[in-house]
């Protein structure tokens, strides 16, 4: 332990702790713009500088590890020289920044804007001169990039390279001309970007945003000739409340359903229903492969970011992918087939909308082999953030809305379905049904498989089921997925079933979720907090296994036949092909 002073207050910290972390542990917040714990520790923005006894200049608190040589030193986090330095840094950033705060999508939730307000930086530029101008890159299906709002913090690069292991963006040029972009300034759509949106989630400004499709939704809602239905993913209910003042990890499912109904949707469904269908098909497919010599290990196909990654970076693993559509696409397919037939509605008159924690869903809805009814399974996919925007635009007082339920039958889900939003959730849900199928025992079959829970990047577990040993693996974050797949390919790891989620921690940490500033992200595990809401919902559900759902049973009895049937394959399954973006 090292004894130091922070702003004159004596404290004792463990050697090796950075000044920034030591200050936070003692109730003092030091602002940052570039720093992301364990991901982007580069000391580039200089916002976190502090004054330190014996130092000849201000030091970056995020990069300075306290050692025994600092014993007794005093650190000032808010001295006049520190505040002046931070203010000048912000003014320099603003001199090369597109200042359209009134209508920027991040206004009110922009870390640069917040710091300018805190330090009294005026809107008028303190430094005049040349400002770099760039064209907006909106080539990708899921996002836009406006480099005139970029502050070169490199968080997006860190997320893409250090977290996802992809690296399709980086710093181009040098000095004042430095800009963040793709190699050779090519369009993002021409790279092997997987559309995960993790770069958007960590961007401190409005430089990166998902494609805003809310106008399409409003147009559909105002078209009297269209029946507009909506479905919401499990993870959305665990995040959207944060935008309305609820503590992180609060399940606001009831108010969310009410808000969607108030917006004018003709039917409000729950993607949980599609998740239960996914388990019925996936568990059947897994057992068929195990019993009949199919390609193993089988790998889940729920995450479109992972699917895009597999097609581009691991095309040799495509035969291992489950042919099941994602829950979003299954729900959309059933909506335009079974539900349309039941309600007597022509599927061409249905506009199917999804609310997802995921930006890759915007890409997924345009994939081939996703049109079971002859029309796209999904027409529009919006993020959690876009739904927040619509709720605010409609003037809805979210917290004052009564709790409502989803519409039946496509709005009823089991506990197994709701945990899809957390890493390990798809695996656990599949095991609940696979064990039942293998043993034929439902009452005594286990409900919880806690070994696959948790936010660790890679998890493995072995279960004895009906006299058979089944080893499973779970990975979240594509860099972790790559490490796992390499072990499988080399024969180091022998597994039967693998779950992969593109986003670290799963959908709860998706690229389309409510933005969490780095000051919170660095000191709170948002993945674990949001996952608690889903596991709590699971525990409270009367039915916790997908095959127990009476509505799922009805769909099979009256429409699909048996899980894995020819008709089920036509409607609920899809295909993949290698990407030509990597040669």
* Domains delineated in the chain: 2-78 (3.10.20.740), 103-210 (3.30.70.20), 223-572 (3.40.50.1780)
* pLDDT greater than 80 at residue 465: no
Instruction: Give the 3-state secondary structure of residue 6.
Output: strand
Per-residue pLDDT tens for 164-222?
A: 999 999 999 999 999 999 999 999 999 999 999 999 999 999 999 999 999 999 999 99
499: which strand partners? Answer: 474
Residue 582 confidence (pLDDT): 66
Q: What is the pLDDT of residue 168?
A: 96
pLDDT > 90? residue 56 = no
What share of residues in the chain are helix, strand, coil (percent, to 5)? Answer: 40, 15, 45
pLDDT at 446 over 80: no
pLDDT at position 150: 97
Looking at per-residue confidence, does 280 or 128 come out higher? 280
Rounded mean pLDDT, 468-497: 96
pLDDT given for residue 439 in this prediction = 75
- ∠ Cα 451 437 428 (to 5°): 20
pLDDT at 128: 83
Judged by phi (left if over 0) then psi (alpha if -120 to 50, else beta), residue 349 lies in alpha
For 314-364, write each residue's pLDDT tens digit: 999 999 999 999 999 999 999 999 999 999 999 999 999 999 999 999 999
Q: Give dist(CA 333, CA 518) in Å, integer.
A: 38
- Can you spell out the DSSP letters for 563-579? TT-HHHHHHHB------
Show Cβ contacts of residue 431 under 8 Å, excluding neighbours closer than 6 positions.
446, 449, 452, 463, 472
Task: Give the mean pLDDT of 538-565.
Answer: 95
Determine whether 159 is exposed, middle or buried from the number of CB atoms within 10 Å of its CB (0-12, 13-18, 19+): buried
**Exposure pattern of 171-197 as b/e (b: 16+ CB <10 Å)?**
eeeeeeeeebbbeeeeebbebbbbbbb
Helix (H, G, I), strand (E, B) or coil at 381: strand
Quick one: pLDDT at residue 469? 86
Q: Span 146-172, mean pLDDT?
A: 97
- Residue 444: its pLDDT value, please? 65
Q: Which residues contact 180 (CB under 8 A, 6 or more apart)?
A: 145, 147, 150, 152, 154, 156, 157, 169, 170, 171, 172, 207
Report the alpha-carbon distance of residue 542 to residue 550 in Å, rounded: 12
Across the range 407-419, mean pLDDT stands at 94
pLDDT at 443: 58
> Which candidate, 72, 21, 19, 71, places its Cα nearest to that of 50?
19
Q: What is the pLDDT of residues 218-277, one digit of tens each?
A: 999 999 999 999 999 999 999 999 999 999 999 999 999 999 999 999 999 999 999 999
**pLDDT 10s digits, 12-33:** 999 999 999 999 999 999 999 9
pLDDT at 442: 65
DSSP 419: G
Dump the DSSP string for 115-182.
Answer: HHHHTT--SS-SS-S-------B--SSSEEE-GGG-----HHHHIIIIITS----EEES-GGG-EEES
What integer best gives the mean pLDDT of the chain?
95
Show the tokens assigned to 141.
């299906």
Three-state SS at 293: coil
How many helices and strands, by DSSP H and E, does the chain display? 20, 17
Q: What is the CA radius of gyration of the chain?
A: 25
Helix (H) or strand (E) holding 312: helix 304-313
Q: Which two structure tokens, joined as six digits, stand for 6? A: 């922070």
Q: What angle do CA 496, 473, 542 make, to 5 degrees?
A: 95
Residues in the chain: 583
Between residues 129 and 575, the one the model is more confident about? 575
Q: For 443-485, give the DSSP string.
A: SSS-S--GGG-SS-SEEEEEEEETTEEEEEEEEESHHHHHHHH
What is the DSSP-derived secondary structure letter of residue 238? G
What integer pLDDT is reported at residue 322 of this predicted model?
98
Question: Which is nearest to 472 in space by CA: 464, 480, 463?
Answer: 463
Give the confidence band of 490 by pLDDT, cuts at 50, 70, 90. Answer: very high
Give the pLDDT of residue 323.
Answer: 98
Q: Is the pLDDT of residue 399 over 70?
A: yes
pLDDT score, position 160: 98
Q: Is the peptide bond before 409 cis (omega within 30 degrees of 0)?
A: yes
């Amino acid at each position: 332990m090292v004894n130091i002073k922070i702003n004159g207050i004596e404290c004792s910290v463990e050697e090796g702790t950075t000044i920034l972390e030591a200050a936070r542990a003692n109730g003092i917040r030091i602002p940052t713009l570039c720093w992301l714990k364990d991901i982007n520790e580069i000391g580039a923005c200089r916002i976190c500088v502090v004054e330190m006894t014996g130092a000849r200049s201000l030091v970056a608190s995020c990069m300075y590890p306290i050692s025994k040589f600092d014993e007794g030193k005093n650190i000032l986090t808010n001295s006049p020289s520190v505040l002046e330095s931070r203010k000048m840094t912000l003014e320099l950033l603003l001199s090369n920044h597109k200042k359209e705060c009134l209508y920027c999508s991040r206004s009110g939730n922009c870390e640069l804007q917040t710091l300018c307000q805190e330090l009294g930086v005026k809107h008028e530029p303190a430094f005049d001169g040349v400002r770099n101008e760039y064209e907006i890159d909106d080539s990708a299906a899921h996002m836009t990039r406006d480099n005139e709002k970029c502050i070169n913090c490199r968080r997006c690069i860190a997320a893409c390279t250090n977290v996802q292991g992809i690296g399709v963006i980086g710093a181009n040029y040098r000095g004042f001309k430095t800009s963040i972009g793709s190699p050779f300034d090519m369009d993002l759509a021409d790279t092997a970007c997987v559309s995960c949106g993790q770069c958007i989630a960590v961007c401190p400004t409005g430089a990166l945003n998902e494609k805003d499709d809310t106008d399409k939704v409003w147009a559909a809602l105002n078209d009297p000739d269209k029946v507009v239905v909506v479905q919401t993913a499990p993870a959305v209910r665990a995040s959207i409340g944060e935008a309305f003042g609820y503590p992180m990890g609060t399940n606001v499912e009831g108010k969310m359903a009410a808000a969607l109904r108030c917006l004018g949707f003709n039917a409000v469904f729950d993607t949980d229903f599609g998740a239960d269908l996914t388990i019925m098909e996936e568990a059947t497919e897994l057992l068929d492969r195990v019993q009949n010599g199919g390609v193993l290990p089988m790998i889940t196909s729920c995450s479109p970011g992972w699917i895009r990654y597999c097609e581009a970076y691991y095309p040799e693993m495509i035969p291992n992918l489950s042919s099941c559509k994602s829950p979003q696409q299954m729900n959309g397919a059933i909506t335009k087939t079974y539900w349309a037939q039941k309600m007597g509605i022509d599927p061409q008159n249905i506009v199917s909308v999804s609310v997802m924690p995921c930006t890759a869903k915007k890409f997924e809805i345009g994939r081939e082999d996703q049109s079971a009814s002859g029309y796209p399974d999904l027409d529009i996919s919006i993020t959690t953030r876009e739904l927040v925007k619509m709720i605010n635009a409609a003037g809805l007082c979210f917290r004052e809305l009564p709790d409502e339920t989803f519409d039946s039958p496509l709005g009823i889900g089991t506990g197994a379905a709701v945990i899809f939003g957390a890493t390990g959730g798809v695996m656990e849900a599949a095991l609940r049904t696979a064990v039942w199928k293998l043993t034929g025992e439902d009452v005594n079959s286990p409900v919880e498989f806690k070994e696959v829970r948790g936010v660790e990047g890679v998890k493995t577990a072995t279960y004895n089921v009906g006299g058979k040993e089944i080893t499973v693996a779970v990975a979240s974050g594509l860099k972790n997925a790559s490490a796992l797949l390499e072990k499988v390919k080399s024969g180091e790891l022998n597994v039967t079933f693998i779950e992969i989620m593109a986003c670290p921690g799963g959908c709860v940490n998706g690229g389309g979720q409510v933005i969490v500033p780095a000051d919170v992200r660095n000191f709170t595990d948002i993945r674990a907090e949001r996952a608690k809401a889903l596991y709590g919902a699971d525990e409270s559900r009367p039915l916790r296994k997908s095959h127990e759902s009476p509505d799922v049973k009805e769909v099979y009895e009256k429409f699909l036949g048996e899980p894995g049937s020819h008709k089920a394959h036509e409607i609920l399954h899809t295909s993949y092909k290698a990407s030509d973006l990597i040669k």
